[in-house]
Amino acid sequence: MFSNSAPTQDVVIAGQHAGKPVRITPNAKPVYDQLVKLARDGNNYWAEITVKAINELAAGRLHQSNIFVKPGAVHRDGTEEFVMILPGCKVTCQKLDADGFKILYFEPDIKYGQAIESGKAPGLYTARKTGSDKWITKPNENGYIAPDKHRMVAISDAGYEDPNQAATLAALRIAEAPFTGGSSMVNDDGFDLHFTPGEKRLGGLRNYRNAIRVNQYTELNESALLLARTMYQARDINGVRWISEDGGSGVLTQAMTILAAQGAQLPNHKVFLFNPTTSPNAAIKAAHSLQMKLDRQFNKTRMFNIVGNRDQLEMIAQRWSNKADSLTTLQAGADVLAHGKSLHGIGLTVGTIAAGTAAVAGLGMTAPAALTSFLTAVGGAVAVGKIAVGTAKLGNTLVEGLLPERHDKLKGKF
């Protein structure tokens, strides 16, 4: 499929007339030509992303965004080598002394399209319910969502056997988003599924460092690039709802960050995180940058989800301080109190909230002035509004926190 014939010297393939020239070595040129051919064919959207990334490299944009560039060696002559992790392809590049880059070689996966169809590579699927508890999925050939108004798109965690299993559990979880209409509507309408394969779950305590620095979580780059493309292609579809479940929050956050860095906007789209196992604060910042619509509730996080609860206070403060967000001080106060029920925020009380700094210190965080001011304002609103926060029954809460999949499956039967 990929030719081995090669020119005898480096060739400029992008940025000849404007931007930074991108050269390619003789051995890599035939592979690049084949990728261009695949991209033009229209049925290999992963190849389109690779070719587009090279053009962005010429424009100087790709190298500035380190969320999908893996740093490599720095040579004695000062040139820097790095690897772009792209869908179906790894591209080793060299940053030259003068403005410009050189592509040294490609590592293409010629069976990437088949891998998507078999659920062995990230991809987009259409999910439909066929029985009482069964969901089936079908790959979307072009990587685009169904062009339906108010379409629902689930971004799944990894760790599932196949897309069908991911869709079955995702259906129960995306129904928790306030704008889906609940399980009945999800079951009737179906949804699109962005699936990320892998044996292990994404984010969480086992991947704590990556989870809190989600935009440097390199294992998600490939999937996030595909999702970013899907989101951009859907920008003119009204009311699309992007809903992540568990570690899918990391993929969604990276995808939104990529689009934000490129200046894209999705003002007619909504976003929601179900039990995010990566930083929700990073997600809210990216959503704000894209001017996405946010419901009163941006995420639902389970009690024992340490990572998901870690920066909830900063996230609430971010929403409260953003003029385009509709979160009021009174609502922010209610959210802070609700956060107090989580294992991470269990020590918070109305008194410590009003004190501001004490509440932050109780979570082991440094108290920046803006956050202290926010908590003080929230404390006042809580006192004035006399908000009362109820708690769920202990048994249900413990099952949900300790056995989440069993809880969701049982809940789906009632």
Helix, strand and coil content of the chain, in percent to the nearest 5, comes to: 45, 15, 40
Instruction: Please give the pLDDT value at position 153.
Output: 97
Mean pLDDT for 162-185 is 92
The count of structural domains within the chain is 3
Q: Is residue 313 included in any domain, yes or no?
A: no
Question: Does some domain include residue 98?
Answer: yes
- In tens, the pLDDT along 197-223 reads 999 999 988 888 889 999 888 889 889
- The one-character DSSP state at 414 is -
Query: pLDDT tier at 166 (50, 70, 90 boundaries)?
Result: very high
* φ/ψ of residue 402, rounded to 5: -90, -30
Strand order in the sheet with 299-300: 135-139, 123-129, 191-195, 152-155, 241-245, 270-274, 299-300
At which of 267, 300, 333 does a domain end?
300
CB–CB of 226/122 below 8 Å?
yes
CATH number of the domain to which 99 belongs: 3.30.2310.20
Task: Report pLDDT digits (tens) over 79-106.
Answer: 778 888 788 888 888 887 667 888 998 8
Q: Is residue 335 part of a domain?
A: yes
Q: What pLDDT, on a 0 to 100 scale, did the predictor assign at position 348?
A: 42
Output the pLDDT for position 324. 83
pLDDT bracket for residue 52 (50, 70, 90): confident
pLDDT digits (tens, 9 = 90+) for 250-266: 999 999 998 998 889 99
Average pLDDT for 259-274: 93
Quick one: 286 and 360 in the same domain? no
- Express each pLDDT in 23-34 by its tens digit: 899 989 998 898
* Each residue's pLDDT tens digit, 348-366: 433 334 334 343 444 444 4
Does residue 232 surpass a pLDDT of 60? yes
Whether the Cβ atoms of residue 290 and residue 257 lie closer than 8 Å to each other? no
Of 81, 109, 137, the position where a domain reaches its end is 109
Residues 119 and 226 in one domain: yes
Same domain? 269 vs 175: yes
Over residues 184-188, mean pLDDT: 90
Over 90: is that where the pLDDT of 165 sits? yes
> Whole domain around residue 23: which residue ranges?
11-109
pLDDT for 113 equals: 75
> Do 119 and 236 have their domain in common?
yes
Within its chain, how far is the Cα of 374 from the centroid? 27
Of residues 336 and 147, more confidently modeled: 147
Q: In the chain, what percentage of residues exceed pLDDT 70?
A: 73
Instruction: Give the alpha-carbon dihedral of 34, 37, 43, 45, to 10 degrees.
Output: 70
**pLDDT higher for 17 or 273?**
273
Q: Are 34 and 134 within one domain? A: no
For the ranges 178-187, 219-228, 324-333, which has the lowest average pLDDT? 324-333
Note whether 211 and 253 are same-domain residues. yes
* pLDDT reported for residue 312: 82
Which residues face 86 on adjacent strands?
A: 89
User: Is 5 within the bounds of a domain?
Assistant: no
For the segment 35-60, the average pLDDT, to the nearest whole number, is 82
Using an 8 Å Cβ cutoff, are 207 and 141 in contact?
A: no
Does 319 reside within a domain?
no
Helices marked H in 175-238 — which ranges?
A: 182-189, 208-212, 221-233
Name the domain boundary from 109, 126, 158. 109
Highest mean pLDDT: which of 296-300, 347-351, 408-412? 296-300
Per-residue pLDDT at 367: 47
DSSP structure string for 279-343: -HHHHHHHHHHTT-B--S--EE--TT-HHHHHTHHHHHHHHHH-TTS---HHHHHHHHHHHTTSS
pLDDT at 17: 61
Half-sphere exposure of 29 (CA within 13 A, CB side): 16
Range with lowest mean pLDDT among 117-121, 173-177, 196-200, 366-370 = 366-370
Domain membership flag for residue 60: yes
Q: Among the listed ranges 145-154, 243-252, 322-331, which one has the minimum average pLDDT value? A: 322-331
pLDDT at 388 over 70: no
List 70's β-bridge partners, or say none.
Answer: 83
- The angle that helices 369-385 and 312-321 make with each other, rounded to 10 degrees, is 80
Q: Assess whether pLDDT exceeds 90 at residue 231.
A: yes
Residue 377 near residue 395, CB atoms below 8 Å? no
On whether both 103 and 251 belong to a single domain, the answer is no
The pLDDT tens digits of the residues spanning 369-384 come to 555 555 555 555 544 4
Q: Is the pLDDT of residue 399 over 50?
A: no
Would you place residue 392 in the very low, low, confident or very high pLDDT band (cuts 50, 70, 90)? very low
131 and 211 fall within a common domain = yes
CA distance 394 to 303: 11
Q: Are 145 and 124 in contact (CB under 8 A)?
A: yes
Question: What local confidence, expressed as pLDDT, does residue 330 receive?
Answer: 84
Q: What pLDDT sits at residue 3?
A: 52
Same domain, yes or no, for 282 and 162? Answer: yes
- Would you state the pLDDT for residue 305? 86
Domain co-membership, 395 together with 267: no
Domain assignment of residue 4, yes or no: no
Q: What are phi and psi of 122, to 5 degrees?
A: -60, 145
CA–CA dist 193, 196 (Å, integer):
10
The conformation of residue 78, written as its DSSP 8-state character, comes to S
- Computed from CA positions of residues 211, 217, 220, 225, in that sequence, does the dihedral angle turn out positive or negative? positive
Is 314 domain-assigned? no
Residue 169, pLDDT > 90, answer yes
Q: What is the pLDDT of residue 382?
A: 47
- 154, 245 Cβ separation under 8 angstroms: yes
Higher pLDDT, 398 or 113: 113
Q: How confident is the model at residue 131 (pLDDT cuts 50, 70, 90)?
A: confident
Whether residues 94 and 116 share a domain: the answer is: no
Q: Are residues 86 and 120 in the same domain?
A: no
**What local confidence, expressed as pLDDT, does residue 283 receive?**
94
